[in-house]
């Protein structure tokens, strides 16, 4: 496994792989078994596996949240080598934003709900950095988890609209035995919050409707941002202490979609 710590080094490496299939897993580090499942699938479907590690500042609307994001580079590299990654791209902020954040990809009004409403600038930051990374890696396939489902759909739409040749591959959410979705933020939960956190999944799967799910989460101590249903899935976001968690599950019974936005407006 080789590590490229700047764009120039990566571009040199990339030329070696012309004619071979490349799979790409973009991450912000603090890797867990959810990331591991993406890398494993990428390994199965491609000649070359590339993983990026970059904590993208433009998708954090709260500077303190950026500061708290876990950084575990040494263990990340050990895990990636064990998983069979060929290349790790580890650029700096100066590499990715050499002139600051002067150009960006802005989503339209159809994304201004859920994360688009509660995290101003988040989707623009995600799309901008993902477009940069896809242009640099030039992969045949890129792998994204369904836990961040709105992000996944937004990236897939952007790739289609900008004629990016990379196929966006959706991968099922990986969960702990308790049902809690694997997330880098789980490492920041206090022992008490770690016991409560699986209630997010239970509320999504066991509640009859969004209102009931919200009430259950509030009762358990979550500060709830939203519980909504879109694209035949139920979504929720809420915080325990300073840690914000999101999750979603497919609905057992499909719902009618809004023909304009591709989602309905059931909320709790």
- For residues 146 and 61, is the Cβ–Cβ distance under 8 A? no
Q: Output the CA angle 263-267-268, nearest 5 degrees.
A: 160
Flag whether pLDDT at 265 surpasses 60: no
pLDDT of residue 264: 55
2-171: CATH superfamily: HUPs (3.40.50.620)
- For residues 44 and 30, is the Cβ–Cβ distance under 8 A? no
pLDDT of residue 260: 45
| Dihedral pair phi/psi, residue 91, rounded to 5° | -80, 160
At 230, is the pLDDT very low, low, confident or very high (cuts 50, 70, 90)?
A: very high
| Mean pLDDT confidence for 159-168 | 98
- For residues 148 and 181, is the Cβ–Cβ distance under 8 A? no
Flag whether pLDDT at 185 surpasses 60: yes
Looking from the CA of 266 toward its CB, the CA atoms found within 13 Å total 20
pLDDT of residue 63: 87
| Dihedral pair phi/psi, residue 233, rounded to 5° | -140, 155
Quote the CA–CA distance of 241 and 188 in Å, as a whole number.
Answer: 10
The secondary structure element, H or E, covering residue 86 is none
pTM of the model: 0.92
pLDDT of residue 229: 97
Quote the CA–CA distance of 238 and 247 in Å, as a whole number.
Answer: 9
Written as six digits, the tokens of 105 are 């990809």
At 258, is the pLDDT very low, low, confident or very high (cuts 50, 70, 90)?
A: very low
Q: Give the 3-state secondary structure of residue 87.
A: strand
At 259, is the pLDDT very low, low, confident or very high (cuts 50, 70, 90)?
A: very low
| Mean pLDDT confidence for 215-236 | 98
Other C-beta atoms lying within 10 Å of the C-beta of residue 89: 25
DSSP string for 113-162: STHHHHSTTHHHHHHHHHHHHHHHH--SEEEEEGGGHHHHHHHHHHHHHT
Q: CA torsion, points 54, 224, 215, 268, in degrees to nearest 10?
A: -90
- For residues 182 and 33, is the Cβ–Cβ distance under 8 A? yes
Flag whether pLDDT at 256 surpasses 80: no
Q: What is the pLDDT of residues 97-148, one digit of tens each?
A: 999 999 999 999 999 999 999 999 999 999 999 999 999 999 999 999 999 9
Q: What is the pLDDT of residues 46-56, one digit of tens each?
A: 999 999 999 99
- For residues 140 and 21, is the Cβ–Cβ distance under 8 A? yes
Flag whether pLDDT at 166 surpasses 70: yes
Which of 3.30.1300.10, 3.40.50.1000, 3.40.50.720, 3.40.30.10 is the CATH number of 184-250? 3.30.1300.10
Looking from the CA of 239 toward its CB, the CA atoms found within 13 Å total 8
| Mean pLDDT confidence for 67-87 | 94
Domain boundaries, the chain: 2-171, 184-250
Higher pLDDT, 261 or 189: 189
**Checking DSSP bridges between strand 243-250 and strand 48-53, what pairing results, if any?**
unpaired
**Checking DSSP bridges between strand 22-27 and strand 48-53, what pairing results, if any?**
parallel
Residue 35 bears catalytic tag? yes
Which of the following is catalytic: 35, 99, 112, 230? 35
pLDDT of residue 31: 94
Flag whether pLDDT at 172 surpasses 50: yes
């Amino acid at each position: 496994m080789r590590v490229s710590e700047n764009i120039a080094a990566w571009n040199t490496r990339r030329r070696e792989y012309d004619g071979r299939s490349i799979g790409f897993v973009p991450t912000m580090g603090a890797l867990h078994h959810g990331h591991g499942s993406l890398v494993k699938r990428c390994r199965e479907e491609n000649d070359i596996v590339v993983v990026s590690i970059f904590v993208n500042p433009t998708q954090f609307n709260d500077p303190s949240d950026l500061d708290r994001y876990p950084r575990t580079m040494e263990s990340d590299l050990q895990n990636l080598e064990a998983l069979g990654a060929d290349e790790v791209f580890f650029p700096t902020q100066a590499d990715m934003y050499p002139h600051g954040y002067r150009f960006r990809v802005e989503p339209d009004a159809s994304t201004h709900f859920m994360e688009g409403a509660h995290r101003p600038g988040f989707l623009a930051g995600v799309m901008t950095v993902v477009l940069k990374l896809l242009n640099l890696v030039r992969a045949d396939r890129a792998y994204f988890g369904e836990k961040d489902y709105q992000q996944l759909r937004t990236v897939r739409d952007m790739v289609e609209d900008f004629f990016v040749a990379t196929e966006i591959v959706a991968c099922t959410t990986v969960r702990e035995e308790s049902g809690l979705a694997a997330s880098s933020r789980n490492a920041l939960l206090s022992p008490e919050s770690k016991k409560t956190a699986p209630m997010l999944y239970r509320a999504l799967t066991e509640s009859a409707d969004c209102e009931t799910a919200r009430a259950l989460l509030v009762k358990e101590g979550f500060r709830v941002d939203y519980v909504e249903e879109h694209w035949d899935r139920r979504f929720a976001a809420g915080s325990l202490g300073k840690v914000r968690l999101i999750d979603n599950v497919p609905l057992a019974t499909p719902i009618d979609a809004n023909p304009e936005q591709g989602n309905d407006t059931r909320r709790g």
